[in-house]
Structure 1
Amino acid sequence: MIPDSLTQAQFDTVYNSLSLVIASQLFTAIFLILALPRVLPRYRQAMVIAAVVCGIAAYHYFRIFDSFKGAFVTDAVGGRGTYTQAEGVSFNEGYRYVDWLLTVPLLLVELIAVLALARRVQASLLRKLIPAATLMIVLGYPGEISSTDGARVLWGVLSTIPFLFILYVLFVELTRSLDRQPVAVRALISRLRILLLASWLVYPLAYALPVLGISGADAWVLKQGGYSLADIAAKAVYALIIYRIARLKSYEDDPAFAAVEGEPTEGSTTVSTPTAG
């Protein structure tokens, strides 16, 4: 439930959180595009998808930022005081769900893309993950905008079913592919799945705050901050790990490329040139 008013500290917290997400997503997307030549072509699709995810998130956070500034206004001199909801204007929570509807499936696609699995395996995983991710977001939205705890619980439970299925695929079925990955990236891929799980768990926790009896302006600010930090971890930080995996796999696939990039490959030796004297 959107609060009727925010203190200056509460307003600043949400304002700065949204600003932080915009900066992190926008500049991560720019970095990934500029870094494309630093990985082999077969891994660039994953990086492009990661850049697109961050770009979509940056755009929607611009919209969320504008919606927030329009929804809460103050008459205090210098704009420092209590902020109340503007008449006829409300904060649009739907922007987040539109963003997630686009970016959550793409997050899974970029993970599958960077693994460079056999086409048959990729197709099988995507057929399971993409519909489940879409269903998870679609089922969560009615509960987010509902005004009763009963409806929120119902839609939350329904949304949790595809969420658990996604975790099953990521942690059980995807594990089978790790043995086919270079040793250097196996630990990174495992940590990537943990990051995805940890960041995604923030969303249902924030979603459940009203049901747990935690409400009011402080709870709403906590939810906005939690969503913002989770989006940074699940998109910008996640994308940088995808980039690191793509780099390591590029070195493994092509020692000549690794040499050009100044990275030693496994088993390489450094030959010292004897000096006279």
Structure 2
Amino acid sequence: MGTDTGISVPELSAVQYSTVYNLFSLVIASMIFTALYLLFSRGRVAPRYRNALVVSAIVCGIAAYHYIRIFDNFQASYPAGATIADPHLLSNVEFNEGYRYVDWLLTVPLLLIETVAVMALAKSEARKLLWKLVPASAAMIALGYPGEITSEVGPRLLWGTLSTIPFIYLLWVLFVELTRSIDRQPPQVQHTIKMLRLALVGLWGVYPIAYLFPVIGGDFFGGSDGFVLRQAGYSIADILAKAAYGLAIYKIARVKSSLEDPAYDDDHAVPGPGDGTAARPTPGRDTVAA
């Protein structure tokens, strides 16, 4: 079963089971409703920023789908029926941590795409950045996957080290090359974009820490406690790096839209006809129609 590295643990207490169960439920709800909000809000930003919102919604949708699969797998691995005194025992269905890597293989490159899209760079500059960021992010996830599913410490460390190489390259691109592009953004959003970049890198740091829990072992990081901590770390990081990140992308798109076109300024725009998109200000009117 590979329980020595915490891929699956023999049993979970009722409290541990409920904690993981509720975390997965929270992630699913966060992703679904953030995706809907972003899609319904497309009309509130200028057309050049709408692709960023669509990509953000797709990221949340992909994450929601995979968390539903993870949630179902978790229930199959640790069936209901336990009590406060009796633990949830691992069934013959292994808990599959690999679902997360399929999710990340799709969503991490898309997170980088939405970041570049909201900056509205020149096509040549955006293409150059994406050719560096997207393959490196895919390599980072692909190299981490064999280590996640192995039951041996040696291969886990080997693949984790290999995965760190493209991760360091991503940091270099984000903090060196992307800085030149940030400096050309409107002053009103420069700070937000810089904080967004820091948050993205900081949240990505949670994943390798959780990845190493089975290697660290011990009573706290290994066994059932380590399993719950790992699920909590992955789940909370996913909410912040996808749902919250998407809402921050929306905020940047709103600010830039209002700076570039008064039609998207809440203080001066009136609703567009029928589709919820913003219209140009009506002469003589500077208030929002009720």
TM-score w.r.t. length of structure 1: 0.91
Show structure 1 runs of 4+ deviating over 4 A. none
C-alpha separation between the residues in 2 aligned to 1:80 and 1:103?
Answer: 40
Aligned partner of 2:118 in structure 1 is 114
Residue identity in the other structure for 2:257: S
> 2:89 matched to which residue of 1?
84
3-state SS in 2 of match to 1:208 = helix
Distance 1:76 1:183 in 2: 56
Matched, 1:234 2:222: no
Q: Is the 8 A contact 2:77 2:90 kept in 1?
A: yes
Structure 2 equivalent of residue 47 of structure 1: 53
**Residue in structure 1 matched with residue 40 of structure 2 by the alignment:** 34
Identity of aligned residues (%): 56
Cα drift, residue 148 of structure 1: 1.2
Give the C-alpha shift of residue 81 in structure 1.
Answer: 3.8
- Deviation string for 1:21-42 (max 9, x for gaps)? 0010000000000100000010
Q: Tell me, yes or no, if the aligned pair for 2:254 and 2:264 is still in contact at 8 Å.
A: no
Which string of whole-angstrom CA distances, capped at 9 and with x for unpartnered residues, describes residues 108-167 of structure 1? Answer: 000000000011110100000010000000000000011111111100000000011111
Residue number in structure 2 paired with 1:208? 212
Secondary structure of the structure 2 residue equivalent to 1:209:
helix
Identify the residue that residue 275 of structure 2 maps to in structure 1.
none
Residue 67 of structure 1 aligns with an amino acid whose one-letter code is N
Partner of 1:193: 197
Instruction: Kindly state the Cα deviation for residue 75 of structure 1 after the two structures are TM-superposed.
Output: 4.0
Q: Confirm or deny: 8 A CA contact 2:14 2:82 kept in the other structure.
A: no
CA RMSD of aligned residues (A): 1.7
Distance, in Å, in 1 between the alignment partners of 2:178 and 2:189 is 14
Aligned to 2:144: 140
**TM-score, normalisation: structure 2:** 0.87
Structure 1: gaps (5+ residues) = 263-270, 272-277
Residues 38, 56 of structure 2: 8 Å contact kept: yes
Counterpart of 2:269, as a letter, is V
Matches within 5 A, 1:161-172: 161-172=165-176
Residues 74, 80 of structure 1: 8 Å contact kept: no
Alignment-derived partner of residue 258 in structure 2: 251
Query: SS at 1:188's partner residue?
Result: helix
- CA distance 1:261–1:195, shift in 2 (3 Å): farther
What residue is the counterpart of 2:228 in the other structure?
221
Q: Is the counterpart of residue 260 in structure 1 residue 260 in structure 2?
A: no
Secondary structure, aligned partner of 1:73? coil
